[in-house]
Structure 1
Amino acid sequence: MSTISVYLSFNGNCREAMTFYQRCLGGELFFQTLGEHPNAEKMPDRMKACILHGTLTRNGLVIMGSDMLGEEGLKKGNAVSLMLHCDSETEMKECYQKLSLGGAQTYPIAQSFWGTLFGDLTDKFGNQWLLHYRKN
């Protein structure tokens, strides 16, 4: 089966956001800046620190991000949520607490009617997270 990777757009704070997600979730973080682009010498110096592409990976988890936006700029909305399937109740609670720092705990972790633990939050960057744990 195919997997879906999340690609997030940021307005100059990709490095900050992805580093925050790494502190919350663990994993390996990689960044490529505009300054590393083959045409970097043609870009304004202020843009060279911008993140062209960032990737956070941990086991099957992949979150990607960039500071590169089109002419329309960043438009926040609720069309994308990050679904985090946790391996334990402890992991779920720890991730929930860390990710909600500076954000909003919109639905506290609780036993759902469909038989799993579930909770959601909006992080300090305006991204929505759904956390899920199915007990065996």
Structure 2
Amino acid sequence: MSKISAYINFKNNQCAEAMNFYQSVLGGELNLMPLKDSPMKDNFPAEAQGGILHADLTGPDFNLLGTDMPNSNIEATVGLVSLTITCATKAEVQQKFARFAEGGQVVHEIMTFFAGTMGNVIDKYGIGWGVFTEEK
């Protein structure tokens, strides 16, 4: 079975504030990874260090993700929502990725990494998709 989650790019380092607000409204468990505490901190300039690299708010029937980091592959990231779909298998990742890529733009080819297998694509309608499975 597939699961779709929303991934929001925030402006002006508002991710932590917004995600705490969403938690107050929706409940769930919130995990925030500040850029300055992440293994990727050296890949970003000093002015970005106060931002959130990754936020994850998970409840029994939802998963809302967010970041303060801009996406250089998309012209305007303020308020942009990228959808993430979690698939059961690598085969399903391949199939869904290929469909989203039809008439669109591949941002990151499908790859296997420590947490599973994933790829990123902007579909022909301009919507960003992360296609993921825990299967390696």
TM normalised by structure 2 equals: 0.50
- Point out the structure with max Rg over C-alpha: 1
Report which of the two has the higher share of strand.
2
Normalising by the residue count of structure 1, what TM-score does the alignment of the two structures yield? 0.50
